[in-house]
Amino acid sequence: MPTHDELPEIRAAEREKQGSYRHSIRVCMAAGCLSQHEGTIRKALVDAVAAEGLEGEVQVKGVGCMGLCAQGPLVMVDDSILYEKVTAEDAVDIVKALDKKPVKRIQSSLNIPFFQRQVKIVLENSGIVDPESIEDYISRDGYAALSKALGEMMPGDVVDEIMNSGLRGRGGGGYLTGLKWSTVSKAISDIKYVICNADEGDPGAFMDRSVLESDPHRILEGMTIAGYAVGAQKGYIYVRAEYPLAIDRLKTAIKQAKRLNLLGDNILGTEFDFDIELRLGAGAFVCGEETALMASIEGRRGSPRPRPPYPADHGLWGQPTLINNVETFANVAPIIRNGGQWFASIGTENSKGTKVFALAGQVKNTGLIEVPMGVTLREIVQEIGGGTTNDAGLKAIQTGGPSGGCIPVEFIDTPVDYDSLRMLGSMMGSGGLIVIDDTASMVELALYFMEFCMTESCGKCIPCRVGTAQMHNLLNRIVRGEARAEDLELLEQLCDLTRNTSLCGLGQSAPTPVLSTLKYFRHEYLEKIAAPPAEEAAS
């Protein structure tokens, strides 16, 4: 059972082991790439290494997401050579080329803005550590923050450090994490809970999934530190059942952490006990909302309830509960390791640190990126993303998923931070960033999101249940060219009503995609209305 002193020994031993290899070949085993090779590439590489008799000199390791999913499957050699669109047949060539020139035919450049413009905190280990090895995580300073917190800091110090970092919740709301921790730590109760929200409901985003698949121990470490800080002994990770790989890796990670006494009773030989259990979601967007999520953990239908009381006072089974998003927890260990000041030096005045985005849609380099807060949309889409596919014109950027809005190309120089995006009528959201080109109809996009909200409405309150259905109906008529000018007015009234009278965030934000497209692309709505129905029928 390791104590504080033994953790560095494990770290040193693992580093020595890894340092003894002359070469290291890393294969992406995250969902995107894995769907294309199912592990055959790793096996082929292991075989090729064996065939050359290099087992002791060359390490082949499965790792998490390297980011450039569009070019996958990816293989990285010694941090310096990246291969793209690799197949199992390439394995022999890759191994044979180790001490020679790289294999040209599949070589990708690391000298592109996609890699150079990123700053990695949350994803610092993604694509580097083996997500199924706790020793590998420890070798990269893993669990050093937990050891520091338990060994050198009082719970109040930990809360202060998070407060000083200026970290804001990454689940969408952007609430100050330090403030939330402080509230839960002050709540008086023998039983408190920590929940990690891994429900990732935004249908076009995969940041949380990627972190869980690529670096699961980081979440366990962040949650355990949170448990110590707020005085909780039990944590739950609420993860979508649609993410089987993330679930498997979390289960493995929890087992490993228990084995090394980094979870369970008397963690690292201290008085502190903390345990983490998984709870599976079952495909309901509204369960990402915190009160619905807690109802779901309790085994009930995931319907939200009015707040206050907030979970910090009255959460899971009525006890004070800290609930944070995956990416929020992923920032905790680096903040404790390097100090809140360090974190606060990255980003902008009111948005500190970095943000992970799932870059998707009509953009060349789709994949996962992490950038400091305050970079512009232009840098993200044109430089890191490499511009639009097929050289179509860029029309808009959608952020915040079904609760967010579309930012037209005129505002492409807006810095990405919580406040700027809100001012444009969108939101940071959890990190989905969809690039939309000239060929897309904004009205149809609004219809798409409304259909999503209508299907996902839990039906508990009337404005949301009826409002989303009515708005969907109106949008449908507009798209089909059957609407009249009055319908647009009615649509706007319904938006207003639903936004102001719904119980939870789902209903309150359901009109956002409509309002933002109406604001910037009103002409597209008008064109559909102006077109006389006869013309449609004739064509």
Partner 1 sequence: MNATMRRNGYRADALIETLHTIQESFGFLDDVSLRFVADALRVAPSQVYGVATFYHFFNLKPQGKHVCSVCTGTACYIKGAGKILDAIKEQHGIEPGQTTPDGELSLLTVRCVGACGLAPAVVFDGQVIGNQDVEQTQARIEGWISHANS
Ligand X SMILES: Cc1cc2nc3c(=O)[nH]c(=O)nc-3n(C[C@H](O)[C@H](O)[C@H](O)COP(=O)(O)O)c2cc1C
What does the binding site for partner 1 look like in residue numbers (CB under 8 A)?
Answer: 31-32, 35-36, 38, 69-70, 72, 202-206, 209-210, 241-243, 279-285, 296-302, 358-362, 366-368, 398, 401-402, 432, 434, 436, 440, 448-449, 452, 458
> Distance (Å, rounded) from C-alpha 466 to C-alpha 292?
20
Secondary structure in 3-state letters for 113-166: HHHHCCCCCCCCCCCCCCCCCHHHHHHCCCCHHHHHHHHHCCHHHHHHHHHHHC
Smallest distance, ligand X to C-beta of residue 403, A: 7
Instruction: Specify the residue, 255 or 301, whose C-beta has the smaller distance to partner 1.
Output: 301
* Binding partner of residue 400 among ligand X, partner 1, ligand SF4, none, CB cut-off 5 to 8 Å per kind: none
C-alpha dist (Å) from residue 273 to 191, 224, 227, 405, 499: 12, 9, 9, 43, 43
Give the whole-angstrom CA distance, residue 218 versus residue 220. 6
Binder of residue 204, out of ligand SF4, ligand X, ligand FES, none (CB less than 5 to 8 A by kind): ligand FES
> Shortest gap between Cβ of 509 and ligand SF4 (angstroms)?
9
Comparing CB distances to partner 1, the nearer of 367 and 372 is 367
Residue closer to partner 1 by CB (options 72, 463) is 72
Confirm or reject binding of residue 294 to ligand X (CB under 6 A): no
- Give the separation between CA 307 and CA 498, rounded to whole angstroms: 18
Regarding 499 and contact with ligand SF4 (CB under 6 A), the answer is: no
Q: Based on CB atoms, which residue is closest to ligand SF4, 263 or 453?
A: 453
Residues numbered 173 to 232 that lie near ligand FES (CB under 6 A) are 203-204
Q: Return the structure tokens found at 193.
A: 């809970």
Nearer to ligand SF4 by Cβ, of 335 and 475: the residue is 475
DSSP 170: S
Distance CA 64, CA 354 (A): 19
Separation CA 26–CA 36 (nearest Å): 16
Give the 3-state secondary structure of 272-315. Answer: CCEEEEEEEECCCHHHHCHHHHHHHHCCCCCCCCCCCCCCCCCC
* 296 to 315: interface string for ligand SF4, x by CB under 6 A: --------x-----------
Binding mask 180-219 for ligand X (x = CB under 6 A): -----------------x-xxx------------------
Given 19, 157, 175, 265, the residue binding ligand X (CB under 6 A): 175
Query: Which residues touch 487 (CB under 8 Å, ≥6 apart)?
Result: 474, 477, 478, 529
Q: Closest residue (Cβ) to ligand SF4? A: 507
Of 418-477, which residues contact ligand X (CB under 6 A)?
A: 430
Q: Could you tell me the two tokens for 375?
A: 């970079």
Taking CB positions, which residue lies at the least distance from ligand FES? 204
What is the helix (H) or strand (E) element at residue 398, kind and residue range?
strand 394-399
Element (H, E) at 194: strand 193-198
What is residue 174's three-state secondary structure?
coil
Residue 448's binding partner, choosing from ligand FES, partner 1, ligand X, none, with beta-carbon cut-off 5 to 8 A by kind?
Answer: partner 1
| Cβ(205)–Cβ(69) below 8 Å | no
- Which one of ligand SF4, ligand X, partner 1, none interacts with residue 288, CB within 5 to 8 A by kind? ligand X
- Residue 147 or 291: which CB sits closer to ligand X? 291
The tokens describing 322, both together, are: 């800290």
What are the start-end ranges of the E strands in 314-391? 321-325, 354-361, 367-372
Among 262, 504, 514, 515, which residue interacts with ligand SF4 (rule: CB under 6 A)?
A: 504
Residue 504, binding choice from partner 1, ligand SF4, ligand FES, none, Cβ under 5 to 8 Å by partner class: ligand SF4
By CB under 6 A, name the binding residues for ligand X.
169-173, 175, 197, 199-201, 285-286, 288-290, 323-325, 328, 430, 504-506
